[in-house]
Structure 1
């Protein structure tokens, strides 16, 4: 029988230790989160150093996704971890308020009602203004109370945005005069009627003119919102929102197959 010595036992233990050590990095790697995994969200966010208010105009017959698609994006800024912002001091949260001619329930084009928290006469200060579209916007292009309110609020806001034929309201108020803008493609001719002085862009998912940004029909409002958020707060912030909402955003503002479908472009 082979004699077992202290030396041979020591050599066997050393080999076993090396084998276990070499396996540890691989095992640790199995438990490590993938690099592409979305950062954790702030479930109970504290107040961000910077607070903004975005006012969403609603009216009987407004298009739900025009309003709620952008509200989903803006409203989730508060849940983004400080590391994504680049530090706690850079965090921004946006308070969303809904506004109509008068406070109360406002029916959408699809039926469900949304509560307007404020009327034209008691709207708080707005940093950003969002104007959705819908069939209900068509008669409002002749409503002087709405147009006067839009002029007053747009003049004080840092940023004005529209979705679909919400641009018709901005055009009727003169806010888009001599500016490039776009709107819904299926109802293009009707939508651009109130804006003879507007530089309408037929093929565009959205048009960013600095302090005024307009988007094409309905779902385009989400692409526009992410693009604006990325411009204001960084691409990492916009990318986090895309992952969180599981939305495959179009990042090219000239992407617009619906312009060709509507016969507006090749």
Structure 2
């Protein structure tokens, strides 16, 4: 008959609770959802406590990326999970609307048309205003209705932004007088001509002057938008937008190789 070792049996009973105490937290940790698996996009966002409105001016011949690059960034703020904001109460939604002289279809420089949600006469109150550039901006420099509307709205808006030679329109309306600003480097001379009182900055991806922010050509509007969003709502919010759009933004406003290529600076 096999001899039963009472001491070994007792030792095993004593060790078992210790083993379980150590194993249970580890099992629980395994079952906890890793941070990398937390919801990255809020596909069905609830209404945010704070809602801002950004109006994007469009006109015949506007540059598509000037308008749609920034709209992509601002329009996706609503999909950022509350945890990124630091709590549900801190979430902000930015409503994006398009505005033209008259409501309806407006052809871009590239051809495709965009529907203007509002005309000058019925446009809603704006928190932010974005003015894209494009070949069509040249004709708008002589349009008093457009310049008057810009002047009136800029005076009532928290923040005015321009992309490319959209700055020409702001300059022609007097909005950039005595302010630092930049614009497209390839067409620098023509783009800056409407603003003799503007402190034009030749080498800049964008220039942030507080309530007025201007950017260089076309794609620079996305860098400017992310920089402004980061200033207003935090770097984590801007970084989330970069991740969502798979866009590697230039964070240095003085980064501007195109000024060198255009012969504006050495």
TM-score, normalization by structure 1: 0.91
Matched pairs, number: 265
Q: What are the ranges of 5 or more consecutive residues in structure 2 without an aligned counterpart?
A: none
Shift of 1:60: 1.2
| Residues 54 and 95, structure 1, Cα contact 8 Å, conserved in 2 | yes
2:225 matched residue in structure 1: 225
**Equivalent in the alignment of 1:197:** 197
Cα separation, 1, equivalents of 2:162 and 2:81: 28
Q: What is the CA distance between 1:260 and its match in structure 2?
A: 0.7
Q: Give yes or no for contact 1:104–1:117 (8 Å, CA) kept in 2.
A: yes
Give the match for residue 93 of structure 2. Answer: 93
Post-superposition offset of 1:15:
6.4
Which residue in 2 is equivalent to 1:255? 255
C-alpha distance 157-30 of structure 1, shift in aligned 2 (>3 A): same
Match of 2:48 in 1: 48
Residues 49-103 of structure 1: CA distance to partner in whole angstroms, max 9, x if unpaired? 1111110001111111111111111111111122222222222111111011111
SS in 1 for 2:83: helix
Q: In the alignment, does 2:212 pair up with 1:212?
A: yes
| Deviation sequence 1:213-244 (CA, Å, 0-9, x none) | 00011111111111111111111211111112
Is the aligned partner of 1:129 residue 2:129?
yes
Corresponding residue for residue 33 of structure 1: 34
d(CA) in 1 for partners of 2:225, 2:24: 47
> Secondary structure at 1:66's aligned position in 2?
helix
Please give the residue correspondences for 1:73-222 in structure 2 after superposition, counting only pairs within 5 Å.
73-222=73-222
* TM-score (ref. length: structure 2): 0.91
